[in-house]
Chains A and B, each alone.
Chain A
Amino acid sequence: MPAHTRADKAATAVVQVGPPPVTNKRPQRNHLIPSWVLKVTMAVTGTLWAAFIAIHLFGNLKVFQGAQAYNHYAHWLREAFYPLLPKLSVLWAMRVVLGLALLAHICAAAMIWWRGREARGPHRAKIRGARAWGAWLMPLTGILIGCFIVIHVLDLTLGLGIQSAGFAAPISDESFAYENLVASFRRPAMACFYSLVMLLLAIHVAKGFTTMASDLGAMGRRWRATLALIGGLLAVAILLGNGAIPILVLTGVLS
């Protein structure tokens, strides 16, 4: 036998002393969709929804200008940019895009949550500090906001099941958004629910912006601070603007 073959054999021979070592294999997962893609999806769809919420909030403020201004704005939404675009087209485009974005956001969130639990294992980690509690709250506030969207649409858009007694659907040249809103928030339970959800939404948005900065790879100190500031300001605006409307209706300031 040539010398080098003998040496190779000696090098590759496995010497087993005693029983083989007991090993607990590390879990290894091959994900179909990478987690970073899911996180970027959540960041983009979340930003889209935050932009929608900001516009919605700005529109809602017309409630302080009175019934006519508010109803006129509600009616304009139905035929925005007519005759350039067909009536209801902007409304439906928004509904489709936001609906798909929401679906993607929820699916990605559920997958991330599940992967996180699996990767952590049975021993739960300690949660400390505002940042960690904020992240811990995200799925919870998210689920409640999802329920709120369903209730909100049933209550003030479709008028199905849980609408107020005096609900009136929009007709071809007029909307009754103001009357519907006042009738709905006269019910204390509904008013409290709306205001409470606005608090949860504010927390979700504020935390969402800081997470989004990280997920979109914003490494600069100023970038991150700016995004956190925008999120914080939007959260405060949601709390003060949207959150106040049901309470003002309930106390009789808006009627």
Chain B
Amino acid sequence: MKLRVEVWRQADPTDRGHFETHEVDGLEPHLSVLEMLDALNEQLIDSGREPVAFESDCREGICGACGVTVDGQVHGPEDNLPSCHQRLINLDDGASVRIEPLRSAGFPVVRDLIVDRSGLDDLIRAGGYVSINAGTAPDADSLPVGEQQAEKALDFAACIGCGACVAACPNGSAHLFTGAKLAHLSMLPMASTERQRRAHSMVRAAEELFGPCSYYGECARACPAEINLNAIAAFNHERMLAGLKRRL
């Protein structure tokens, strides 16, 4: 199959950026969006031009490194899939496809399709961790966690940190990401001891770096880890509870 690819080119963060159009032929419908970019890059290298810079790592949907906007849709035309799993079969043969970086003021473009997602790292640094005095390893069953509770926490912990929620949000909000961290950590016994302090600092950081939530629900549609919209409720839930209780 053949595609007319309009790809975003931006030399550095201060460049204005523009779209560049290329014809890519000989594509297979089962290829992913990233493999299409690989094909485009080979074409560019063969003709002695600079290849398009984009991020990717595992290509099996578990690392969260990849992420481009395809025709205005984060990751690609199918909901709840990362770019590396978005197949070209969803695009028409001969169609024009627009590839942009993830768009949000909190994700400034570094080069071409690569964006700076370190805002999410700042959120984790603000409290998305567990402080444990590591000593002798405790007995495996000394702190029992119910199966249901563990499964629920794991559902929220499925987040791969790709930033699709922020890029899909018309408000540029990181509520789904932050809420997922707050939710899964507050559900487990060791992590929940820092619950109030974590909610205070993570919510503050999220509001400084990203937008507010207006419940568009676009984040949950884009999320490759299928994080539930409950994570958004968790954001306010944890912050309100932390406001009511004494600070740790």
Q: Is B181 an interface residue when CB atoms closer than 8 A count as contact?
A: no
Whole-angstrom distance between the Cβ of A208 and the nearest chain B Cβ: 10
Mask: chain B, 204-241; 1 = CB below 8 Å from A; 0 = not = 10011111111111100100000001101111111111
At the interface with chain A, which of B21-29, B103-111, B129-137?
B103-111
Please report the total number of A residues contacting B with Cβ < 8 Å: 48
Tell me the complex Cα distance, A230–B169, Å.
Answer: 27
Whole-angstrom distance between the Cβ of B76 and the nearest chain A Cβ: 12
Whole-angstrom distance between the Cβ of A131 and the nearest chain B Cβ: 4
| Closest B residue by C-beta to A112 | B212
Tell me the complex Cα distance, A131–B216, Å.
Answer: 6
Contact B170 A132 (CB under 8 A): yes
Whole-angstrom distance between the Cβ of B12 and the nearest chain A Cβ: 5
Q: Is B73 an interface residue when CB atoms closer than 8 A count as contact?
A: yes
- B105's partner among A22, A119, A131, A213 (CB-CB below 8 A) is A119
Contact B211 A116 (CB under 8 A): yes
At the interface with chain B, which of A3-11, A56-64, A216-224?
A216-224
Contact B218 A128 (CB under 8 A): yes
Question: B72: which A residues are within 8 A, CB to CB?
Answer: 125-126
| Closest A residue by C-beta to B212 | A35
Please report the total number of B residues contacting A with Cβ < 8 Å: 51
Given the interface pairs A116-B170, A125-B168, the reply to whether A214 lies near B233 with Cβ below 8 Å is yes
Contact A35 B207 (CB under 8 A): yes
Question: B234: which A residues are within 8 A, CB to CB?
Answer: 217, 219
Contact A124 B170 (CB under 8 A): yes
A-B Cβ contacts below 8 A, count: 159
Question: A207: which B residues are within 8 A, CB to CB?
Answer: 215
Q: Is B84 an interface residue when CB atoms closer than 8 A count as contact?
A: no
Whole-angstrom distance between the Cβ of A105 and the nearest chain B Cβ: 14
Whole-angstrom distance between the Cβ of A126 and the nearest chain B Cβ: 4
Question: B233: which A residues are within 8 A, CB to CB?
Answer: 213-214, 217-219, 224
Contact B73 A126 (CB under 8 A): yes
| Closest B residue by C-beta to A223 | B233
Contact B13 A23 (CB under 8 A): yes
Question: A125: which B residues are within 8 A, CB to CB?
Answer: 72, 103, 167-170, 218
Show the binding face of B for A, using Cβ within 8 Å.
12-14, 72-73, 100, 103-106, 108-110, 116, 118-119, 167-173, 183, 203-204, 207-218, 221, 229-230, 232-241
Query: A22-B14, A127-B218, A214-B232 known; 10 other A-B pairs, CB under 8 Å?
Result: A26-B118, A35-B213, A36-B240, A115-B171, A116-B173, A126-B168, A211-B215, A216-B240, A219-B233, A224-B233
**Can you list 16 contacts pairing A with B, beta carbon distance less than 8 Å?**
A24-B13, A26-B119, A26-B209, A27-B106, A30-B208, A39-B213, A115-B211, A115-B212, A116-B211, A119-B171, A119-B173, A121-B104, A126-B168, A126-B218, A135-B170, A217-B239
